[in-house]
Chains A and B, each alone.
Chain A
């Protein structure tokens, strides 16, 4: 069945360090994996996505890694800043115009 989940509900990281948020998925038919950031009281905000034919994609301060062998997705945030405090959701979809299946979310705390 369709299922996307995260390994840790909360992650605390020192400001300036790198953050790694992990996610496991189960639907091998998904072609498109996405990371969303949700700040308190706001809607999900797109961070970065990756197609199933790739294993790594980089954005500004963020990198997404996809390991299809073990069905694992991760988000790396370089030099974590206070503004990175939020809940991060991994999600999957068949394509960019299809429904999005969200995972449970990891709350990222930034320590001063």
Chain B
């Protein structure tokens, strides 16, 4: 079964440092997303990406965040200068673009900012 893969599974970083979270979406999918989940809370939408540009972003996704699809397979989330409150699970997801199937989520990257 196809799956969304994320690396690393756990990232520890010092406050103020830049981090890049990586995702490989399902190969024939056209829509890509990042979500985050602070411990014990609900999953929150960050950004959606289609046709090599951001299609929608939430209030959380401020100018410290950026996304990129550097090649045909990877989809990355960069946090430019991490804050303690950025500590969360970050989930990548992808969907086909045909409206015929659901979005698939990766296993997540746990980001810990110290």
A42 within 8 A of B: yes
**In the complex, which residue of chain B has the Cβ closest to the Cβ of A96?**
B99
**The residue from B43, B48, B99 contacting A95, defined by CB atoms under 8 A apart:** B99
Interface size range of chain B in the complex: 20 to 34
Task: Say whether A96 contacts B105, CB under 8 Å.
Answer: no
* CB within 8 Å for A102 and B108 given contacts A96-B99, A97-B97: no
CA distance A103 to B42 in the complex (A): 6
**Shortest CB distance B35–A (Å):** 8
Query: Which residue of chain A is the closest to B99 with respect to CB atoms?
Result: A96
53-112 of chain A: CB within 8 A of chain B: 89, 95-105
Nearest A-chain residue to B41, judged by Cβ: A104
Extra inter-chain contacts (11) besides given A45-B105, A89-B42, CB under 8 Å? A41-B107, A43-B4, A43-B91, A44-B105, A46-B104, A49-B102, A95-B99, A97-B30, A98-B56, A100-B45, A102-B42
Interface residues in chain B, defined as those with a beta carbon under 8 Å from any beta carbon in chain A: 4, 30-31, 33, 35, 41-45, 48, 50, 56, 58, 91, 93, 95-108
Can you give 28 A-B contacts (C-beta < 8 A)? A36-B105, A42-B107, A42-B108, A43-B4, A43-B106, A44-B91, A46-B102, A46-B103, A46-B104, A49-B102, A89-B43, A96-B95, A96-B96, A96-B100, A96-B101, A96-B102, A97-B30, A97-B50, A97-B95, A97-B97, A97-B99, A99-B45, A99-B56, A100-B33, A100-B35, A100-B45, A104-B41, A105-B42
